Structures are given as C-alpha cells and as structure tokens.
Amino acid sequence: MSLTDVETRKLEARAEQIRETVIEMLVAAKSGHTAGPLGLADIFAAFYFHILRHDPKHPEWPERDRLILSNGHVVPVRYAAMAHAGYFPVEECRTLRAFGSRLQGHPERLRLPGLETTSGPLGEGLSQAAAAAYAFRMDGTKQRIFCVMGDGEQDEGMVWEAAMWAGKQKLPNLTAIIDRNNIQIDGVTEDVMPLESLKAKYEAFNWHVIEVNGNDIPAFIAAIEEADAIYEKPVAIIAHTIPGKGVPEIEFDFHWHGKPPSKEEGRRFLKELRSMKGRVPHEYA
C-alpha cells in the first residue's frame, strides 16, 4: 500500500525532527557518533511512525514487533525516534551519555524499556533477531523481527554465522536492514575491508535481498512491504544511505563517523537542517 503524499511529507518531517534532536543530543553529550544516526533518520522515522506495531506506553507489549539494533553506536537516532514517538520525554534526550542517564552511550536494555537488547560490540544483533524469529514461529505468533545493522559491521564473522543459520531456517518473519553508508571508522568500507558484492553474499546464504535508497521513505517502506510478502526466506534490505544526511558539509565524510558536533558546529548544522539546505531563508529557520 503506497503512501499518500501527505503521509510521506509527515514522515519526512518526522525524520527532520529526529535529525534535529540527534544533533542537539550529541552537542549536549560532547561525544558520540554523528554520521550514522543522521543517515538513518529516515529509516527510524519510517519504523517508529509507520512500520512497527508497537505501543510506546506499553513497551513490553508481547505482541509488538521487535526492532533489534545491532550497531549500537547509532543509538542516538533510536533514542530520538523513541522520544518523539512518546516512549519518554524529548527533553530526556539531552541526558545522552551522562552519568545516571537511561540513555547510555551504547544501548542497554535493562536501563530503558523498549530497547529490546544491549548492543555496541558489533555483529551480535542478527543472531538475537534470528532466534526471536524462530521462537515466535515455534509459538505460532505473528510478530515481525527487524534487525538494523551497519555495513562496516559485516566484517564480523558472527554476522555470517547468523546469516547462515537464518538462511537454513528459512525464517519468513525476519528482516535485516543493512545501513549501506560506505563508511566505517578507519575510512571507506571498500578500502578497509571490501564487502561487495554484498547482495550476492546474502543471496548465497539463502536470503532474499532488496536494494533500496534508505533516505527515500516511500521506497524504504515499499521494501519492507515486499519483505513481508517473501515467505520462504529471510530478507536483507540493503539500504543505501548518505552518512551525515541533511547536513551537506558533513555528508559522505567518514571523519564524522565517531565524533559529535561542537556547540558552534551544532548551531550551524541545525540551521542547515531547518533551512532545508538553504531553500528556506535563515531568518525563518
């Protein structure tokens, strides 16, 4: 079911709101990752405001869909999306990485309801997502399981152990989303550790693979709907995203993988976001 223009614009506005919150929380935290969360804002807006069956007031509702975040370092985008969806007050986002905060630098399930798991060490989410998908199939319940992974994370051997197992089990309720933004800490993924052809790799592991523009919300939602229609295999959506998306001066720059904006940079980035890349005069931004 394709989105109406109004629905699309609302989701895009949500994504911008999430980006603003991400920048604000990173400036306040003075540490954290910038590029990945900005690149994933459209996908998380789509998840929390359209795709997931969930209830922010009852985060442990058993029938909820599960969104497992495997690359825990991009968690600011999840915190921002959860806050705007009503899991907790948006103001709490400013406590990111602070002593006593529920918003740990890398997500901890036991500290904040709704996180589903603890992650940060890379490569571990897909196993957990695959097991949950298998368990729900055993029980005959209908939850969908989504696992968001990074592309650099695909270097981890454990990812392929899990991919092999999920392919063997033909899990129809499992959808992995790979954030293909082509950067990792030490540089461009194809320099650090070549991944291509990523599509062929997953296909060889008995997955159905969809490639999509991860910054195009209607296209991403269409990919999720296609994945739901695939019954005999798990599905990997390779979502091509722009790291740093929304702030032209940092887009595609791997140096922004693991650092936060300074106060001054944050002010500038927010202006760029709010001015819709210069299309809106700054006095209105």
* 11 versus 68: smaller Cβ distance to another protein: 68
* 20 versus 116: smaller Cβ distance to another protein: 116
Alpha-carbon distance 185 to 207, whole Å? 28
- Residue 62 CB-density burial (10 A; 0-12 exposed, 13-18 middle, 19+ buried): exposed
* 175 versus 181: smaller Cβ distance to another protein: 175
* 217 versus 235: smaller Cβ distance to another protein: 235
Alpha-carbon distance 205 to 251, whole Å? 32
Kindly state the smallest distance separating residue 164's Cβ from another protein, in Å: 7
Alpha-carbon distance 208 to 206, whole Å? 7
Strands 66-69 and 208-213, sheet pairing: unpaired
* 9 versus 168: smaller Cβ distance to another protein: 168
* 169 versus 275: smaller Cβ distance to another protein: 169
Alpha-carbon distance 113 to 130, whole Å? 21
Kindly state the smallest distance separating residue 197's Cβ from another protein, in Å: 23
Kindly state the smallest distance separating residue 189's Cβ from another protein, in Å: 22
Q: How far is CA 115 from CA 8, 86, 102, 124, 207, in A?
A: 26, 14, 11, 15, 26
Q: How many CA atoms lie within 13 A of 195 on its CB side?
A: 25
Kindly state the smallest distance separating residue 98's Cβ from another protein, in Å: 19
Kindly state the smallest distance separating residue 124's Cβ from another protein, in Å: 5
Site for another protein, rule CB under 8 A: 66, 68, 108-110, 116-121, 123-132, 134-136, 138-139, 157-158, 161-162, 164-165, 168
* 87 versus 220: smaller Cβ distance to another protein: 87
Kindly state the smallest distance separating residue 82's Cβ from another protein, in Å: 18
Structure tokens at 280: 């809106």
Alpha-carbon distance 38 to 260, whole Å? 12
Kindly state the smallest distance separating residue 169's Cβ from another protein, in Å: 9
Structure tokens at 215: 């910054």
Q: Which positions ≥6 away from 185 have C-beta within 8 Å?
A: 152, 254, 257, 258
3-state secondary structure (DSSP) of residue 279: coil
